Structure 1
Amino acid sequence: MIGKIPKPGKSFGGCIEYNVLKKEAAILYADGVRIDKTAHIIDDFNMQRKMNPGLGQAVGHISLSWSPEDKERLNDEKMVSIAKEYLQRMKIQDTQLLIVKHKDRAHPHIHIVYNRVNNEGKTIPDSFQHLKNIKISKELTLKYGMHIGQDKEKVNRPQLKGIDKLKYELYDTTKAVSQKVTSMAELKQELLKQGIGMRFKYKSGTLEKQGISFSKGDYKFKGSEIDRSLSYGRLSKQIEQQAQQKQAEEQRPTLAQQLREVINRGPVKEQSGHHSVIDLFGRIPIITPEPEPDPYRRKKRKGQGNDQDQSQGISR
């Protein structure tokens, strides 16, 4: 299961019309609003938001999507049940709610519209929602045995929008650049050329690095939030290995150097009175000696029969 959270909106009218009036859309669940008419749904949401007029962006909107492999295992009741548990874990409670199912994609997915002004007129905070969404979506996927999403390399990039699109841009660029550098400083410099900022997180009161983040425009993400392979520990280990490999390659003699060394040595060496020919690369070929004859093996005399013939002669 994957949860997507766009920025909070200002207009309940536009959000609800998009979700409810879409072809083959079906309202699965509602709490605190009338669903006989679209206009009534909008009016009810707007009525409650007036309890907190200072909150400009009162429209909460979340979509939950499952893999096509889960289609046969999901019905309307199951999706609503998972959505309620998701909202509870996200601390989105005691407020107006609308859950709508769409059928415009091959995979099962629903849209949740909620009022950020709760039933008591208080604001439902949206801080750290994206981080909580990733964690909770994964936990529920594992809990209900749903299909795990595709690898990042297989995701259809052109269909991505908003935060997800930006995260994949950061992932693709950072992965590509990180494979060509030999130090974190070089990585930072190369990413800056691509318009991506990179900052370290230090252990309190020390210069010990313990985290890394990447930014573009107004958005900043921890490396591990984009992908586990971009955490500080894994990224620094990868780059360190690349630096060691490059150093080893630079120290390895070239073919021309090996040839000059062989020529300077001369073509023949003597060891223990034996002549051993040295090949082009200075290696002494291994010569396997012929096996010595077995001294205990009895030689058959000329004209001598086998034991069976001798025993037959004696019996006669």
Structure 2
Amino acid sequence: MFARILKIGTFHDVVGYVTRQFHDPKEYTPDTWRIIGSDNVFTSDYAKIVQSFETIHGFMPGKENPAGHISISFDNADAPRLTDEFMAQLAKEYLDGMGFKDTQYLIVRHLETEHPHFHIVYNRVNLHGKAVNERNNYKRSDKVVKALKDKYGLTYSPLKEKYEQKKPVFKTKISAAIYGCKSWDEFCRRLACAGIDVKFHDDHNTGEHIGVKFSDGDITLNGSKIDPAFTYRRLNNLFEFNRKHGHQQSDNATKQPNVTVEYAPSQKTSLIGDMMEATVGAIGNLFTLGPGFDPEEQAFQNAIKKEEAKRKRKSRKI
């Protein structure tokens, strides 16, 4: 069992598609589809179905593309069990799980393909004249489908299983690659070393990147399917943040106060020992400020020393 949330549209278009109004009647004959369930919809013909949906949509006429559309397909191994009644029951439980209650829906089974499947058309305006809650649809759909498969012992698609098994692998590798990363080029190089290829989806009009996919040569996954944080926009924002944050660190590093290192005389066993200790001490103090160091106090002491030096020079001239 696998659910696909398809593009929303008008009832004219979506209902017309599922009831084959715009298909070649010689190929898509009446026996290639049938309505197996509905709620609050007149199903006698295409015009009545559309009119039923549009009546409720009239409660919220400003709602654009009010027709929701979902396709649910099954593995061929489950075909003997998939009666119209069982499919309709699965559709109702799916809608309940998605939270699509108190709204019109139409369930249409298609019979012309090898894989058993049906389509759900639902009204995105409910019977109370309010918008149906569709937030996090994709995530909710995955959970509902998994629950139904487990409940009824439906077959997990081998390809779907492969995708689910590889998601955490992709996520681990991508999470490691983005650490401190400041550009897409750097990101792609890092992932290439981990056996992952980065592919972009471009806008047809502008040619700009708007999406990102990841492939290991076997399967390809959209970034958003792996984790919501791996969309093109969010990754791009992260790299930009890392670049700016890196510059700020560099600027701050150059503004660190100068540290005067003083060494107390001590007895050493050799000249080499004296040089080594002085070198190590100087290097350490260049990068580490002692807990008692006060930049303002140091500046004050330096000013006093300068004044004393001036007075000594004047006294010598006199």
TM-score bracket, normalised by the shorter chain, equals: 0.5 to 0.7
More helix per residue: 1 or 2? Answer: 2
Matched position secondary structure for 2:148: helix
Query: 1:191 is matched with which residue: 188, 191, 195?
Result: 188
Q: Please, what TM-score do these two structures have when normalized by structure 1?
A: 0.53
Is 1:70 the counterpart of 2:94 in the alignment?
Answer: no
- Structure 1 unaligned residues grouped into runs of 5+: 156-166, 198-214, 227-316
Structure-1 residue corresponding to 2:261: none
Change (3 A) 1:30 1:137: same
The 5 A counterparts of 1:17-96 are 17-21=16-20, 23=28, 24-96=32-104
Deviations 1:227-254 (A, max 9, x none): xxxxxxxxxxxxxxxxxxxxxxxxxxxx
- Residue identity opposite 2:211 in structure 1: K
Task: Give the distance between the partners of 2:131 and 2:19, measured in 1 at CA.
Answer: 25
Task: Give the distance between the partners of 1:113 and 1:151, measured in 2 at CA.
Answer: 26
Contact conserved, 1:64 with 1:110, CA < 8 A, in 2? yes
Contact conserved, 1:12 with 1:42, CA < 8 A, in 2? yes
- Name the count of aligned residue pairs: 192
Task: Give the distance between the partners of 1:49 and 1:183, measured in 2 at CA.
Answer: 45
Structure-1 residue corresponding to 2:139: 131
Shift of 1:54: 1.9
Matched position secondary structure for 1:101: strand
What fraction of aligned residue pairs are identical, expressed as a percent?
A: 32
Structure-2 residue corresponding to 1:6: 6
- Structure 2 unaligned residues grouped into runs of 5+: 190-196, 202-209, 213-221, 230-318
Change (3 A) 1:128 1:191: farther
Matched position secondary structure for 2:118: strand
Shift of 1:223: 2.6
Structure-2 residue corresponding to 1:288: none
Matched position secondary structure for 2:224: strand
The 5 A counterparts of 1:190-269 are 190-191=187-188, 194=198, 216=211, 221=224, 223-224=226-227
Structure-1 residue corresponding to 2:292: none
The 5 A counterparts of 1:135-174 are 135-151=143-159
Task: Give the distance between the partners of 2:200 and 2:179, measured in 1 at CA.
Answer: 14
Matched position secondary structure for 2:153: coil
Deviations 1:149-178 (A, max 9, x none): 1135979xxxxxxxxxxx9xx97xx95xx5
Q: Please, what TM-score do these two structures have when normalized by structure 2?
A: 0.52
